[in-house]
Amino acid sequence: MTGEHTHRGELPTSATVAAELPTGLPAGSRIEPAALPGGGDLLLVPVAPTAAAALLPQLLAWAEQSDNAVPPVVVELYGTLVLWTPRRAAVASPADRLPRATAAVTEFTVTAAELAEIERAIAGLWRNYEADLPCGFAVTAADAGRVPELAERYRQSMSLAGRLARLSPRIHQPPQHPPTLAGQLGERLRDRCRLADREEFADDQLETIVRLYEGCGQRASDRLLAQREHVLTWVIVLLLAAETVLLLVDLLATAGG
């Protein structure tokens, strides 16, 4: 293993620094701008199986030219060297293995980007969590106007839970048998970026948030039912009162006759 770094796996965005091909790379090396999902640049380097590790300094320097706030993830496997950041990724591999390695990096980038987007959305929901806690106990008259807002936050949290559930099988892929280069590269990248741990943390957070807004929905429903029962009670009282008045009028008319 040449190097190992972890990071948050941010959603790829366009690098602020123009991508330039590093010097000293083998012939046939090329940069594919915005080739990664989200607009990240991809550097492809066809290289002999025993020469990939020697290119690490150039690839690191190239990746660090972008405005990444985290260090690159480095995976070396079977003569293939992968250096990954959310905004720049480099693959140095024998030419016959380069397409498979590139496909593994692209697939991983899609998964990491979607997980990072879910994490950011969860962080947005947490900003309202403390303010909404009282509504989980009782929705007062002052909170009645906030019911649509609370319902929208419940919808958002359930939508995120669904997205995370659909993403989970891609994060928890079992090892392939027999092993393949693409499969092992994806497995190493997911491990280095701790996608499984992050998916578990996100699931726990969403469970807590969903539970709050389910409580808010129940309290709002209870209040609405109570209001309807109150109105119905008064309607019954008024009808009984009207019936009583009519009965008294009828009795007085009978007595007067």
CA atoms of 218 and 139, how far apart (whole Å): 9
CA distance linking residue 232 with residue 230, whole number of Å: 5
CA distance 123 to 156: 12
Confidence of residue 233 (pLDDT cuts 50, 70, 90): confident
pLDDT in tens, 172-183: 988 878 888 889
Does the structure show a pLDDT above 50 at 110? Answer: yes
Report the DSSP pairing between strands 41-46 and 88-93.
Answer: parallel
Alpha-carbon separation of residue 72 from 14, 165, 207, 226 (angstroms): 16, 27, 31, 58
pLDDT digit string (tens) for 14-68? 334 456 788 888 888 999 998 888 788 999 999 888 888 888 998 988 888 776 6
- Provide Rg for the chain, Cα atoms: 31
